[in-house]
């Protein structure tokens, strides 16, 4: 990115809109905005608006004070470049104005339903077709929650974090911040101080969640920082698969997104967490787009527990994200399957951390990076074997695919082994979509664009097969849309 360093991010304006972004539209729902900037009063206002208890206020204030000590010093080690962010020029609270929580879709603001329709994810249809329970987050506040009944009968709690704070304070107190403490990193501190809402799920012992739990996030109000917080707890012997899909409308200025996701799997429990991220990547010159600085971490706390992250990331101007697993329980398993695509001037610095603590713990990392245009894609991964982790095993595979000759792919593996019984395997490849491959496909009557898409899909197959079927189709479609114009 060749942007001048002095420029402020949030006030940046461009005159022409990039209409290539398919999901770029703005919904005219009145936002309830707090004034710009961050101070203790804003935090009190958030707490007040959300009617949160005193202990939440204290927790947020502790996080805020810690964050202030960091003196606006963002982490600098990632291979990303952007002009400085003015953290006092951001709205920290926005919520659609509404009188009461809707009990069904009919009560949801029709404009909102329309917005979802434009996203190609009509809630109505999804309810019928896929048996997915959708907790839709619109500008940080949960709007519609479906399938609640089915889940309630099983004792599964699936609601917004706000609601959980009110109704299940004991779970929130016990687990919020237990995997990602507010001292963890700059953005995690900021998130803890100001997070507006997010998804909460609790699966009771022995329950296999019969639905794919799903949330769609969108960022709407211009200049709104988005700080969601997700917390999922799988109690002993339970299983849950959770899908997170994201689209952001097109904006003229960059938008900051700093989410925190915490997963906890107790003994014999399994959590599968899948993400599709296609936030606005900026235009062809690299103007605008979302800054996506996310902390995602799971704790495989119990014996034989398993946490699996699958992500397909095609969006955002900048992605900074390392979904990680702490393998604490003996025999626990951590997995990370990722496709990260960058085009035009997008930058991604993404990867994972696998921290092996328990005995016989096993982690698998498969990271696929696709770079096109001037995109820069970095895989950064840490595998750490602690002295206690006897017979730990890790398999890491990083594949990079380059399209064109102006893009870049970088692989930065960190390996720390403190137990001699560890078995580590690492494979890395870099390839290009070759002219011979394109010609071979075209010789069979397949258009160049379809050929390219097919080869890229083939490259991603190992990851897509980890996704639920509909999600895999959508992921494949996303890659296609994201690479339009990258051929030739």
Partner 1 sequence: MSARAGNHKGPLLEVRDLHAGVGEVEILKGLNLTVNLGEVHAVMGPNGSGKSTLANVLAGKPEYKVTAGEVIYEGSNLLKLTPDKRALNGIFLAFQYPVELPGVREREFMKTALDAIREHRGLEKLSVREFNKLFQEKIAQMEMSPDLVKRSVNEGFSGGEKKRNEILQMVVLEPKLALLDETDSGLDIDALKVVANGVNKFRGPSRAIVIVTHYQRILDYITPDFVHVLIDGRIVRSGGHELALELEAKGYEWIKEAIESGEQVSV
Residues of this chain that interact with partner 1 (CB under 8 A) are 434-437, 439-448, 450-451, 454-455, 457-462
Shortest distance (Å) from residue 335 CB to partner 1: 19
Residue 146 or 452 with smaller CB distance to partner 1: 452
Nearer to partner 1, 105 or 339 (CB): 339
User: Taking a C-beta distance cutoff of 8 angstroms, is the pair 249, 219 a contact?
Assistant: yes
Contacts of 166 (CB under 8 A, 6+ apart): 51
CB of 142 to partner 1, least distance (A): 38
Q: Between 211 and 486, whose beta carbon lies closer to partner 1?
A: 486
Q: Least distance from C-beta 473 to partner 1, angstroms? A: 13
- To the nearest whole angstrom, how small is the minimum distance from the Cβ of residue 448 to partner 1? 7
Residue 99 or 435: which CB sits closer to partner 1?
Answer: 435
Residue 468 Cβ, how far from partner 1 at the closest point, in Å?
19
State in angstroms the smallest separation of the CB of 339 from partner 1: 12
Nearer to partner 1, 162 or 476 (CB): 476
Q: Tell me how far, at minimum, the Cβ of 443 lies from partner 1, in Å.
A: 5
Q: Smallest distance from the beta carbon of 472 to partner 1, in angstroms? A: 13
Pick 206 or 404: Cβ nearer partner 1: 404
Report the residue number, 259 or 402, with the smaller CB distance to partner 1.
402
Cα→Cα distances 29→19, 25, 91, Å: 22, 12, 16
**Looking at beta carbons only, is 307 or 460 nearer to partner 1?**
460
Burial 390-408 (b: 16+ CB within 10 A, else e): bbbbbbbebbbbbbbeebb
């Amino acid at each position: 990115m060749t942007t001048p360093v002095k420029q402020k991010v949030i006030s940046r304006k461009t005159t022409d809109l990039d209409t290539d972004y398919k999901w770029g539209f703005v919904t005219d729902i009145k936002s309830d905005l707090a004034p710009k900037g961050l101070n203790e009063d804003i935090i009190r206002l958030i707490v007040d608006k959300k009617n949160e208890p005193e202990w939440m206020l204290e927790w947020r204030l502790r996080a805020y004070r810690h964050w202030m000590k960091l003196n606006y010093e963002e982490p600098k080690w990632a291979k990303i470049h952007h002009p400085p962010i003015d953290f006092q020029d951001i709205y920290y609270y926005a919520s659609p104005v509404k009188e009461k929580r809707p009990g069904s879709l009919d009560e949801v603001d029709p404009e909102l339903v329309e917005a979802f329709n434009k996203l190609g994810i009509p809630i109505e249809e999804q309810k019928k077709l896929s048996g997915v329970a959708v907790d839709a987050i619109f500008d940080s506040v949960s709007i519609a929650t479906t399938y609640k009944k089915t889940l309630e009968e099983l004792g599964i709690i699936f609601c917004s974090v706000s609601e959980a704070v009110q109704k299940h304070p004991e779970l929130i107190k016990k687990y919020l911040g237990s995997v990602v403490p507010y001292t963890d990193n700059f953005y995690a501190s900021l998130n803890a101080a100001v997070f507006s809402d997010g998804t909460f799920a609790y699966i009771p012992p022995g329950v296999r969640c019969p639905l794919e739990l799903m949330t769609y996030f969108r960022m709407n109000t211009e200049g709104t920082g988005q700080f969601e917080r997700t917390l999922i707890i799988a109690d002993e012997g339970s299983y849950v698969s959770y899908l997170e899909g994201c689209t952001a409308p097109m904006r003229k200025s960059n938008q900051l997104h700093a989410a925190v996701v915490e997963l906890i799997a107790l003994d014999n429990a399994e959590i599968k967490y899948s993400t599709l991220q296609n936030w606005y990547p900026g235009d062809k010159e690299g103007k605008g787009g979302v800054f996506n600085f996310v902390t995602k971490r799971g704790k495989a706390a119990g014996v034989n527990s398993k946490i699996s992250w699958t992500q397909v990331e095609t969006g955002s101007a900048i992605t900074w994200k390392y979904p990680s697993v702490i393998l604490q329980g003996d025999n626990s398993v951590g997995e990370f399957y990722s496709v990260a695509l960058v085009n035009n001037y997008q930058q991604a610095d993404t990867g994972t951390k696998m921290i092996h603590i328990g005995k016989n713990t096993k982690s698998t990392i498969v990271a696929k990076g696709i770079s096109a245009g001037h995109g820069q894609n970095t895989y950064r991964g840490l595998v750490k074997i602690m002295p206690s982790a006897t017979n730990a095993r890790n398999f890491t595979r990083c594949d990079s695919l380059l399209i064109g000759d102006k893009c870049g792919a970088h692989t930065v593996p960190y390996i720390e082994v403190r137990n001699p019984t560890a078995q580590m395997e690492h494979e890395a490849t870099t390839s290009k979509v070759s002219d011979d491959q394109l010609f071979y496909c075209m010789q069979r009557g397949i258009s160049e664009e379809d050929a390219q898409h097919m080869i890229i899909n083939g490259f991603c197959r190992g990851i897509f097969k980890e996704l639920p079927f509909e999600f895999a189709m959508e992921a494949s479609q996303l890659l296609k849309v994201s690479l339009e114009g990258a051929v030739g």
